[in-house]
């Protein structure tokens, strides 16, 4: 019994240490803010810890934690929808940045994050899961707790909105990122 | 194709996201904090759907007549301007129950400590310093620290050596949709059998644990500094829980079945 618990603890430790960077980046894309990302990932892992025995037995802890993380993000977004939209509207700036130094790169990132932040939460989640996490539509649907059709629809709408921002399209072809 | 009218393909979107994700340095994983938070969540056993908590406390009985004692009515929460009077720097302390454990010949006092809401960064800093000295900061730090947050902890103090254990802690949930009641299960290493403490929303006037062989109505206690009313129950392996019912001030009842 004690050995089993120790094995689970070690397994959880390994999971946290190895997945933390990736989860942080996913959460960062979802929230656009470092502290919010840390909070989201940490609380998701805490929930995973509570059920780790079951999670471990099910055999796909990544999918489980991803689902927790997306659910938590959706819940928080619903709760703060008004403030969130107001805050984002205030920082709407689509001027094309200078792009020949580090500052320009930081501005690019800032612009990308603002572009993501302007997407409705479900569209943002779909885009991040499909294009950053590289999940299939079925896997994304599982993480978001919705149908494959909803994933397709949210992804298409999100991408269409990103494409409609001229500065973003231009960024892809400059700054040596292709 | 010019830069201005160039369209993005899927590969471009992936590149853009990779670029944006590169804007953060993830740092080291806070493993210890994750485990600490996980253990606290496990202890809390939020009862939103009732089923989880009922399964947890599902074999319970009330305290014996003399087992739960010392339940003074606490003073009402004050709303004074200074942080001292708002209990930002020292907690309100409301006794919940005394648990006499015949098996271990020990006595445990349960109380709820409530730290008033800091209003600004200076009050947050000072409150943190006081919490560190009070020995609760390790439990406090994993919850968000923001102005306006009221933080509580249920503390078990062993009579004799005075050893204190924070068994449950959290932020007061303000507004919004809330479950009618919340129940926590105390760690088994503190008492033999099980002890449940919980709280109900302010409009609830009575809570009833319905067993297969009867029912129990734990008394509700107004904890200083919190809106919710609290209760305590002693669990016993011999009884099976059927449901929990709450009755509000208007006489409306809600029932959460155990399964």
Q: Do residues A93 and A45 make contact, with C-beta atoms less than 8 angstroms apart?
A: no
Q: Would you call B29 an interface residue with chain A, using a CB distance cutoff of 8 Å? A: yes
Which residue range is the domain that position B238 belongs to? 45-257
Q: Is residue B33 in a domain?
A: no
To the nearest whole Å, the CA of B228 is away from the closest chain A CA by: 22
Q: What CATH architecture is A95-178?
A: Orthogonal Bundle (1.10)
Q: Where are the domains of chain A?
A: 1-79, 95-178
Least-confidence region, from A78-87, B155-164, B176-185: A78-87
Q: Would you call B30 an interface residue with chain A, using a CB distance cutoff of 8 Å? A: yes
Q: Is residue B18 in a domain?
A: no
Q: Would you call A14 an interface residue with chain B, using a CB distance cutoff of 8 Å? A: no
- How high is the pLDDT of residue B191? 74
Confidence check: pLDDT of B54 > 80:
no
State in words which class domain A1-79 has: mainly alpha
Contact residues, chain B, for A20 at CB < 8 Å: 26, 28-29
Beta bridge partners of residue B97, listed in sequence order: B110
Confidence check: pLDDT of B190 > 80:
no
Q: Would you call A142 an interface residue with chain B, using a CB distance cutoff of 8 Å? A: no
CB contact under 8 A, A172 and B33: no
pLDDT-derived band at B105, boundaries 50, 70, 90: low
Strands B253-257 vs B106-115: parallel, antiparallel or unpaired: unpaired
Strands (DSSP E) contained in chain A are none
CA distance readout (Å), B217 to A166, B44, B98, B234 = 66, 21, 17, 12
Q: Is residue B74 in a domain?
A: yes
Mean pLDDT for chain B overall: 74
Q: Is residue B59 in a domain?
A: yes
In whole angstroms, what is the distance from residue A145 CA to residue B42 CA?
Answer: 24
Indicate the burial class of B35 (C-beta count within 10 angstroms; 0-12, 13-18, 19 or more).
middle
Percent of chain B with pLDDT over 90: 10
Could you tell me which residue, B49 or B142, shows the higher pLDDT?
A: B142
**Residues in chain A with pLDDT values less than 70:** 1-2, 77-108, 166-178
In whole angstroms, what is the distance from residue B121 CA to residue B19 CA?
Answer: 34
CA distance readout (Å), B236 to A109, B59, B63, B241 = 58, 6, 9, 10
- How high is the pLDDT of residue B237? 60
In whole angstroms, what is the distance from residue B156 CA to residue B235 CA?
Answer: 16
Nearest chain A residue to B42 by CA distance is A50
To the nearest whole Å, the CA of B22 is away from the closest chain A CA by: 8
Q: Residues 169-188, chain B: which have Cβ within 8 Å of A?
A: 176
CA distance readout (Å), B256 to A11, B199, B201, B230, B247 = 36, 15, 15, 18, 12
Q: Would you call B16 an interface residue with chain A, using a CB distance cutoff of 8 Å? A: yes
Q: Do residues B204 and B180 make contact, with C-beta atoms less than 8 angstroms apart?
A: yes
Q: Which of A28, A47, A174 sits opposite B24 (nearest CB)?
A: A28
Contact residues, chain A, for B146 at CB < 8 Å: none
Q: Is residue B15 in a domain?
A: no
Q: Which of A20, A79, A106 sits opposite B29 (nearest CB)?
A: A20
Could you tell me which residue, B173 or A137, shows the higher pLDDT?
A: A137
In whole angstroms, what is the distance from residue B183 CA to residue B44 CA?
Answer: 7
Q: Do residues A41 and B31 make contact, with C-beta atoms less than 8 angstroms apart?
A: no
Q: For residue range A128-169, what is the model confidence (pLDDT) as tens digits?
A: 999 999 899 999 998 888 889 999 999 999 888 888 776 666
Three-state secondary structure string covering chain B: CCCCCCCCCHHHHHHHHHHHHCCCCCCCCCHHHHHHHHHHHHHHCCCCCCHHHHHHCCCCCCCCCCCCCCCCCCCCCCCCCCCCCCCCCCCEEEEEEEEEECCCCEEEEEEEEEECCCCCHHHHHHHHHHHHHHCCHHHHCCCCCCCCCCEEEEEEEECCCCCEEEEEEEECCCCCCCCCEEEEECCCCCCCCEEEEEEECCCEEEEEEEECCEEECCCCEECCCCCCEEEEEEECCCCCEEEEEEEECCCCEEEEECC
In whole angstroms, what is the distance from residue A124 CA to residue B17 CA?
Answer: 11
Confidence check: pLDDT of B169 > 90:
no
N- to C-terminal Cα distance for chain B?
64
What ipTM does this complex have? 0.78
Q: Is residue B168 in a domain?
A: yes
- How high is the pLDDT of residue B44? 62
Q: Which residue has the tokens 């160039």?
A: B6
CA distance readout (Å), A92 to A102, A110, A165, B22, B193 = 22, 11, 12, 22, 59
Closest by Cα among A110, A23, A165, A172 to B13: A172
CB contact under 8 A, A43 and B37: yes
- How high is the pLDDT of residue B106? 72
Length of chain A as a residue count: 178
Least-confidence region, from A142-146, A169-173, B50-54, B183-187: B50-54
The secondary structure element, H or E, covering residue A101 is: none
Number of separate domains in chain B: 1
Q: Is residue B13 in a domain?
A: no
Half-sphere CA count of B16, side-chain side, radius 13 A: 31
pLDDT-derived band at B68, boundaries 50, 70, 90: very low
In whole angstroms, what is the distance from residue B146 CA to residue B150 CA?
Answer: 9
Beta bridge partners of residue B13, listed in sequence order: none
Q: Would you call A173 an interface residue with chain B, using a CB distance cutoff of 8 Å? A: yes
């Amino acid at each position: 019994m004690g050995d089993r618990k120790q094995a689970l603890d070690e397994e959880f430790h390994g999971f946290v240490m190895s997945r933390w960077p990736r989860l942080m980046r996913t959460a960062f894309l979802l929230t656009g803010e470092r502290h919010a990302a840390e909070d989201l990932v940490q609380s998701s892992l805490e929930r995973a810890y509570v059920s780790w025995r079951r999670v471990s037995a099910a055999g796909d802890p990544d999918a489980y934690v991803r689902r927790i993380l997306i659910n938590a993000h959706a819940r928080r977004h619903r709760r703060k929808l008004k403030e969130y939209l107001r805050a984002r509207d205030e920082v709407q700036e689509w001027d094309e940045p200078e792009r020949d130094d580090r500052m320009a790169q930081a501005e690019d990132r800032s612009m990308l994050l603002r572009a993501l932040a302007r997407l409705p939460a479900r569209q943002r989640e779909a885009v991040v899961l499909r294009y950053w996490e590289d999940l299939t539509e079925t896997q994304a649907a599982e993480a978001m707790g919705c149908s494959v059709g909803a994933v397709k629809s949210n992804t298409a709408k999100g991408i269409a909105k990103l494409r409609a921002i001229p500065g973003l399209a231009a960024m892809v072809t400059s700054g040596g990122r292709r | 194709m010019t830069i201005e009218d160039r369209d993005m393909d899927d590969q471009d979107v992936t590149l853009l996201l990779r670029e944006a994700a590169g804007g953060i340095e993830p740092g080291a994983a806070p493993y210890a904090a994750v485990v600490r938070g996980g253990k606290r969540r496990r202890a809390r056993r939020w009862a939103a759907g009732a089923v989880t908590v009922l399964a947890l406390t599902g074999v319970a009985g009330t305290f014996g007549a003399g087992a739960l004692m010392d339940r003074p009515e606490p003073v009402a929460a004050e709303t004074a301007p200074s942080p001292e009077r708002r209990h930002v720097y020292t907690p309100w302390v409301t006794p919940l129950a005394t648990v006499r454990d015949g098996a271990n010949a020990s006595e445990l006092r349960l109380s709820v400590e409530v730290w008033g809401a800091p209003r600004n960064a200076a009050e947050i800093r000072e409150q943190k310093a006081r919490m560190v000295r009070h020995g609760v900061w390790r439990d406090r730090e994993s919850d968000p620290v923001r102005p306006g947050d009221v933080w509580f902890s249920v503390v078990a103090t062993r009579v004799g050596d005075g050893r204190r254990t924070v068994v449950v802690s959290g932020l007061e949930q303000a507004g919004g949709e809330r479950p009618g009641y919340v129940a926590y299960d105390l760690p088994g290493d503190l008492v033999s059998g099980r002890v449940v403490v919980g709280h109900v929303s302010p409009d609830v006037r009575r809570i009833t644990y319905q067993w297969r062989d009867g029912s129990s109505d734990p008394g509700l206690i107004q904890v200083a500094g919190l809106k919710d009313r609290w209760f305590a129950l002693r669990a016993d392996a011999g009884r099976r829980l059927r449901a929990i019912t709450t009755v509000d001030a208007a006489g409306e009842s809600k029932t959460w079945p155990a399964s």
